[in-house]
Amino acid sequence: MRVTGTRKRLTSVLFDAGQPMSIEAIHGKLGRKSFDLVTLYRCLDAFEEIGVVQVVRDEHGKALYELIDAEHGHHHHVICRKCGNIDCLDTCAIAPFEAAARRLGYDDLSHRLELYGVCADCRG
């Protein structure tokens, strides 16, 4: 993928965020007048396809975008139903399910997993 000024700016916004962001929040950080939504969606789709970005879905199905970094690599999230706080879960326990799918003849597997609950701050 060619490195362009647009892609550099998008990567910078995602890096600085430190957690998954909605398309609206990303668009706002980039400047709505200088960065159109069509280009933004295309960049995010391309980044997801090559494994630079992962999509996290909130409990209502809304897409949130996060830069995949070397520190976390592939990981999952727990999202607070009340305040929307998102925490990373640094482990993935899906390997046994993927092994079972491979035994059934499936290949080129992928998965997404988000957990939803109420965080300690909202419970207190």
| Domain boundaries, given as residue ranges, for the chain | 5-123
Please report, for the chain, how many H helices and E strands are present, in that order. 5, 6
Dihedral pair phi/psi, residue 118, rounded to 5° = -120, 125
Contact 23, 63 (CB under 8 A): yes
Confidence of residue 82 (pLDDT cuts 50, 70, 90): very high
- Return the percentage of the chain with pLDDT > 70, whole number: 98
Confidence of residue 72 (pLDDT cuts 50, 70, 90): low
Q: For residue 70, is pLDDT > 90?
A: no
Q: What is the CATH number of domain 5-123?
A: 1.10.10.10
- Return the percentage of the chain with pLDDT > 90, whole number: 66
Confidence of residue 110 (pLDDT cuts 50, 70, 90): confident
Q: Does pTM top 0.85 for this prediction?
A: no
Q: Average pLDDT of the chain?
A: 90
Contact 72, 90 (CB under 8 A): yes
pLDDT at residue number 124: 81
